[in-house]
């Protein structure tokens, strides 16, 4: 989704492969420090942004001539005015549509508007657009609002956004689509749905999660010549399979199953046996040495479906397992409660999902040996809040979960977030085809297999997320609608062997 130009900040192995993400205030601070170091006005960056936009638009829509450029009252609008001036110089036909008159602007935005007017350009006010008989645009540029959106959009701005979304033309968003909160990824009422977004200086963390994934479209980044100073810590890190697959080296030729861990998965209660089966199959396909399933006594043996999955007979030594998974299809009955009470205090690595998390919400505790993988509903129960509050700021939610419960937390959803208490990683791989039963069970199995093979919990969670998302993207080649969790299994095996 993101085309990248530039080097990641190198601190440790996975960070050297990840891409930094930023909050809006960090971007503003970078701009100010850059201007101070270089002894240049910030207007230089506005000029660079306008030039970058012009080149970008001409490259991606070379046949377009009739550009409608919607400009706002701040610096985002200033970028639009400079773009219009450069486009006019190229012989194109930009129409500037403003939500505020140029003589009411301030600072660099006013300067950019005045230079556009001095070059012979004109401005149409947004409220006049409906009455003007105009040819349809070939390209629409959204330069209304930048990174400072913190409150719901006004009624007038909401109408302009609706106009942009209703035009039958591609939309290029300047820096980020108008209406998007750059830090949380939430739409502040209305949201421009861009075809492409060209963002500047650095990628804002909210662009890749929550509503950002619907508004941004294809995302590209231009740093405008601004480099990050040493010692500046990103707000989060973007990860994906192409970046992290280097963490999956080939096995030693002397490898045997005893070196790659023994995983015990507990769940698969009545009516939910498929959940534990999927988790077990994913665990095997991700490379665990041996896998057992612990289910209620009357559950049919999983070996009837997958011969390599062993059962868990009464009296089996619990010390057999090096990693445990609690939750897929666990249920809420007395058997499930007994399993939770038995396994929750284990000192070995533990993955909690599904009903394992629901039991934890009823008996909260803090441990550092586990990986928790809640979806927003489970996260809300764990935090004692609403789903809307979780989704309103997913970064804050994953941080709260990690502080309260410890270990590593993977908050699933559009733009899954992983927090280990020191860093937040964002995986934006995956697709809407994953909105079907069993997908989370696969993720639990993958993470458990990686833990069993020796990866630390944080790395196992990050690798698990990108393998899971990449497998779904590969499986979706045959269509997102109707995609099943089991469709991902062949791809999981392929992805844990990146040298093939």
What letters, b where the CB count within 10 A reaches 16 and e where it falls short, cover 11-43? eeebbebbbbbbbbebbbebbeebbeeeeeeeb
* Cβ proximity of 417 and 410 under 8 Å: yes
Q: Which residues of the chain have pLDDT under 50?
A: 1-11
CATH level 3 topology of 15-235: Rossmann fold (3.40.50)
Query: What's the confidence (pLDDT) of residue 2?
Result: 37
**Per-residue model confidence as pLDDT tens digits over 64-107:** 999 999 999 999 999 999 999 999 999 999 999 999 999 999 99
Q: Show binding-site residues for AMP.
A: 412-416, 440
Q: Show binding-site residues for K(+).
A: 76, 142, 178
**Per-residue model confidence as pLDDT tens digits over 58-68:** 999 999 999 99
Q: Show binding-site residues for (6S)-NADPHX.
A: 75-79, 146-152, 175, 275, 329, 375, 441
Query: What's the confidence (pLDDT) of residue 131?
Result: 83
Distance from the Cα of residue 58 to its chain's centroid: 29
pTM: 0.93
Sheet holding 290-294, edge to edge: 203-204, 19-22, 236-239, 424-427, 416-419, 408-411, 370-372, 350-352, 323-326, 262-266, 290-294
Query: What's the confidence (pLDDT) of residue 1?
Result: 36
Query: What's the confidence (pLDDT) of residue 4?
Result: 31
Query: What's the confidence (pLDDT) of residue 500?
Result: 66
Start-end of CATH 3.40.50.10260 domains in the chain: 15-235
Start-end of CATH 3.40.1190.20 domains in the chain: 241-496
Specify the CATH number of the domain 241-496: 3.40.1190.20
Written as six digits, the tokens of 385 are: 């809040």
User: Taking the chain, what is the end-to-end CA distance rounded to the nearest angstrom?
Assistant: 24
Q: Show binding-site residues.
A: 75-79, 142, 146-152, 175, 178, 275, 329, 375, 412-416, 440-441
| Number of residues in the chain | 500
Query: What's the confidence (pLDDT) of residue 8?
Result: 28
* Cβ proximity of 244 and 30 under 8 Å: no
Distance from the Cα of residue 283 to its chain's centroid: 24
């Amino acid at each position: 989704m993101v085309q990248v130009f530039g080097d990641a900040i190198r601190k440790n192995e996975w960070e050297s492969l990840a891409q930094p993400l930023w909050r809006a205030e960090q971007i503003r601070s970078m701009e100010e420090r850059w201007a101070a170091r270089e002894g240049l006005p910030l207007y230089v960056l506005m000029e660079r942004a306008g030039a970058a936009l012009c080149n970008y638009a001409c490259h991606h829509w070379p046949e377009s001539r009739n550009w409608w450029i919607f400009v706002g009252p701040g610096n985002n609008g200033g970028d639009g005015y400079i773009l219009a001036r450069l486009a006019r110089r190229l012989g194109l036909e930009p129409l500037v549509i403003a939500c505020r008159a140029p003589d009411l602007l301030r600072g660099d935005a006013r300067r950019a508007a005045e230079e556009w007017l001095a070059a012979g350009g004109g401005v149409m006010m947004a409220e006049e657009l409906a009455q003007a008989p105009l040819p349809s645009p070939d390209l629409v540029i959204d330069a209304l609002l930048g990174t400072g959106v913190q409150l719901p959009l006004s009624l007038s701005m909401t109408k302009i956004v609706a106009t942009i979304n209703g035009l039958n033309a591609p939309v290029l968003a300047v820096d980020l689509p108008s209406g998007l909160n750059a830090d949380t990824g939430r739409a502040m009422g209305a949201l421009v749905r861009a075809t492409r977004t060209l963002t500047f200086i650095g990628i804002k963390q909210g662009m890749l999660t929550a509503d950002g994934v619907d508004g941004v479209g294809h995302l590209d980044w231009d740093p405008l010549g601004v480099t990050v100073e040493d010692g500046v810590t990103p707000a989060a890190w973007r990860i994906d399979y192409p970046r992290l697959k280097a963490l999956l080296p080939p096995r030693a030729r002397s490898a045997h199953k005893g070196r790659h861990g023994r995983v015990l998965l507990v769940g698969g209660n009545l009516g939910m046996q498929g959940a534990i089966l999927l988790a077990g199959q994913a665990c095997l396909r991700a490379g665990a040495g041996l896998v057992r399933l612990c289910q209620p006594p009357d559950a049919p043996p999983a070996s009837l479906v997958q011969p390599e999955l062993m059962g868990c007979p009464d009296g089996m030594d619990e010390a057999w397992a090096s990693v445990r998974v609690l939750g897929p299809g666990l249920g809420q009955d007395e058997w499930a409660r007994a399993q939770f009470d038995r396994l929750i205090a284990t000192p070995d690595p533990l993955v909690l999902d599904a009903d394992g998390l629901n039991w934890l919400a009823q008996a909260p505790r803090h441990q550092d040996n586990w990986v928790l993988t809640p979806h927003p509903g489970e996260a809300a129960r764990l935090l004692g809040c609403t789903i809307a509050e979780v989704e309103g700021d997913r970064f804050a939610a994953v941080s709260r979960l990690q502080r309260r419960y410890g270990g590593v937390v993977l908050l699933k959803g559009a733009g899954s977030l992983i927090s280990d208490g020191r860093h937040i990683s964002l995986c934006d791989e995956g697709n809407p085809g994953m909105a079907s039963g069993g997908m989370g069970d696969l993720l639990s199995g993958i993470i458990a297999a990686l833990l069993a093979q020796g990866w630390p919990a944080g790395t196992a969670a990050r690798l698990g997320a990108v393998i899971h998302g990449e497998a779904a993207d590969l499986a979706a080649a045959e269509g997102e609608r109707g995609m099943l969790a089991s469709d991902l299994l062949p791809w999981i095996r392929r992805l844990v062997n990146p040298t093939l």
